[in-house]
Structure formats: structure tokens, C-alpha cells
Amino acid sequence: MKKKFSFLLVLAVLVMGLSACGSSKSDTTSETKATKAPKATETAEATKEPESKTTDTKGKHHAKIKVKDYGTIEVELDGDTAPITVANFIKLVNEKFYDGLTFHRIMSGFMIQGGDPLGNGTGGSDETIKGEFSSNGVENNISHKRGVISMARSSDPDSASSQFFIMHQDSTYLDGEYAAFGKVTKGMKVVTTEVDEIGYPYAVEFELCPDSAPNIDAILFKGPHSEFVSNWQNTGKFAFRRDGYEFVFHSYRLPAGQWTKIRIEGDAKGTSLFVDGQLQERLEGRVSEHYNEVHKRKDRIWYQETLIFPLKQLGDARMGFKGKVRNLICIPL
């Protein structure tokens, strides 16, 4: 199995800036400027030019989403079509709620989703707002086409709070069910940037269900410099390969035919495997002895068991993972 896999903006730190409010003809941009590049463990600091004192959300507004290491996404917000949604978004921007958050949910060819303070899709701000879409009794003529920004929600139509998503391509079947409130005017390249791998520190979570007859040494994730495999040597174990070396998690065997939640954590010292929330094994360097024929002696070699996690491709045409994968999330640590 081979599937092109675009994991977008996985370690993106957001710094949100908002322009002055006003009509579409008289708007002026006053962007947020980061005072320093934020670390993954700290909130981004920002300074802004004076903001408009008005609380009126009618007309057009402009925001800039600065994505660390990738660039800026500029969006135009439609306060005439979705005044409640736009007012809520402006409020959160002014409170710096979004600064330092990530795009936690990435679905290639569909959308990217961010605005969750927990970074896993379950969090939000303190307040929820009315869903401004037709199935909830509110007229909204913004169609979910490429570049449109809209609010995420649960099954409750009035449950949206802070999470938003930006469309990769037209998905008009979402019209009438979600509160679209603007569109990207510049920076779609940032929205659709592909990432081949993730440097540490990171956590990668996913659920998988292998077929009853899985491939041996099945490639699960593949990147330009490494591979992450399942069913290593037909043992059900996970392993990864890089730089001509192979590193194996020996303490756990993945069962076939059932769903299992996996979490891989990587840092500058090593790599950890978690299964259903429990740490199974930590690889943090090992020593191997090799006989040196030239000098007629045993040499000790130190292997550092670190992994820059591969994300360019899911599976492989020749020896790919056979089964199902779902709920893939990358989390900065």
C-alpha cells in the first residue's frame, strides 16, 4: 500500500494579528509582529499597533496568521455574513488566545484545523457561540471552497468556540452545516505546504488496525532519511531505520485485527514507544561490540537511538503496511 501523505504545518506556532476594522474600501492593515521566535514550550509574545476602538463587526476585517518557520496566512473576515463568529474571532485574537497554538488536525486535500489550546481537538475557549449557518436558522452564503475559513464544532450546532479550519479544496457539502466567516487572501502556499519529516522534540499519535496477515517489515511511515516499520521480522514489533542502522522496540508486539493507539515521542536523547497511554520502552542509546580485524581487537560502538519522524509518505508500494490508520496527530513538546 502506498499513499502520498501531506502532513502540513505540524509544528506550526501561530501568532495572530488583526487589522483595523472598517469597510472593505477603507481597511488598513496593522499586523502583529513577534518580538522573538517562540519556543515550543512557551507562548509567543507579540506587540501590536493601536487597534480600532469600535466593537462593530460589520464589514470586512483582516487577520494575519503567522506560522512559525512557514510564513503568513492572510485572511479576510466577513462581518456582514457572520457577525457573531467574526466578533468572537476578533475577541480571541485581541486576547492573544491563539498565540503559540498549533494546526493540530491536518487532512491533505481537505483542510487544516487549529485554535485548540490542548492541541488534540478536544479543547476550546471559555465561551461557545451560536452557529451561523442555514441548518441552524441563520443565512450564510459563504461556500466552503478552497481557502475559506470556517468554525469547527461538535454535533451541537451552537458549540463552536475557538477552533477553526481552512479549506484545501472545494467541499461544498459542508455548506449550511458549518459557520464559514471569511477567506484566505494571501498565503495559500503556507496552508498547503507539505512537510516530509518532524524534528524533535515531538509526539506522534495514531491508531492502527493491522490486517490478519500483515506484511513482514511493513513500512508504516516513510521520509527522506528514515522509515518507521511494523511487524519487524514477522514479530509484531515496531522498528525504525535511519543512516543504515535499525533500531527495534523489543518490549511490545502489535496484535493483528484490532485497533491500538500508538504514541511515539522523540527528543535529542532517544525515542519512546507508548501503547494505549502506557510507556512500553525507551530507546536511549546502546553499545555494540565489533571485532576489528585490522587491529585484532574488540571495538565498542555507541548508537544514539534518535529519530526525526518520517511523514512524507504513508505505506510503500512494495512492502507497505496492510491495514487501517486513523486519527494521526503530531504534537510539539
The cell for 57 is 463587526
pLDDT digits (tens, 9 = 90+) for 66-100: 888 788 999 999 999 999 999 999 999 989 999 88
* Same domain (yes/no): 126, 268: no
* Same domain (yes/no): 41, 154: yes
Average pLDDT over residues 26-51: 31
CA 265 to chain centroid, in Å, comes to: 15
* Same domain (yes/no): 271, 134: no
pTM of the predicted model as reported, rounded to 2 decimal places? 0.61
* Same domain (yes/no): 142, 6: yes
CB 10 within 8 Å of CB 106: yes
> Which residue, of 191, 214, 243, is where some domain finishes?
191
* Same domain (yes/no): 151, 213: no
Work out the number of other CB atoms within 10 angstroms of the CB of residue 38: 18
Range 44-47, long-range pairs (CB < 8 A, 24+ positions): 44/13, 44/14, 44/15, 44/68, 44/99, 44/100, 45/99, 46/15, 46/17, 46/96, 46/99
- pLDDT given at position 292: 79
Name the least confident of 38-42, 48-52, 86-90, 249-253.
38-42
- CATH number, domain at 266? 2.60.120.200
CB 74 within 8 Å of CB 63: yes
Sign, CA torsion 13/19/22/28: negative
* Same domain (yes/no): 81, 220: no
Structural domain total, the chain: 2
Residue 18: burial class (beta carbons within 10 Å; 0-12, 13-18, 19+):
buried
- pLDDT given at position 270: 95
The rounded distance, in Å, linking the Cα atoms of 62 and 47 is 17
* Same domain (yes/no): 178, 232: no
Domain that residue 27 falls in: 2-191
3-state secondary structure 21-42: CECCCCCCCCCCEECCCCCCCC
* Same domain (yes/no): 176, 115: yes
What 3-state DSSP class applies to 230? Answer: strand
Kindly report the average pLDDT of the chain as a whole number. 82
* Same domain (yes/no): 29, 60: yes
Across the beta sheet with 271-275, the strand order is 278-283, 271-275, 260-266, 202-210, 323-332
For 20, half-sphere exposure in the C-beta direction (CA atoms, 13 angstrom radius) is 13
Higher-pLDDT residue of 234 and 36 is 234
* Same domain (yes/no): 185, 219: no
* Same domain (yes/no): 169, 238: no
Average pLDDT over residues 291-299: 81
Name the least confident of 14-23, 108-117, 120-129, 309-318.
14-23
Check pLDDT > 50 for residue 31.
Answer: no
The rounded distance, in Å, linking the Cα atoms of 267 and 12 is 18
> Which residue, of 142, 163, 191, is where some domain finishes?
191
CB 14 within 8 Å of CB 100: yes
Respond yes or no on whether the N-terminal peptide bond of residue 201 is cis (omega within 30° of 0).
yes
- CATH number, domain at 170? 2.40.100.10
* Same domain (yes/no): 170, 208: no
- pLDDT given at position 18: 58
Name the least confident of 74-88, 163-177, 194-208.
194-208
Name the least confident of 141-155, 254-268, 310-324.
310-324
> Which residue, of 191, 218, 245, is where some domain finishes?
191
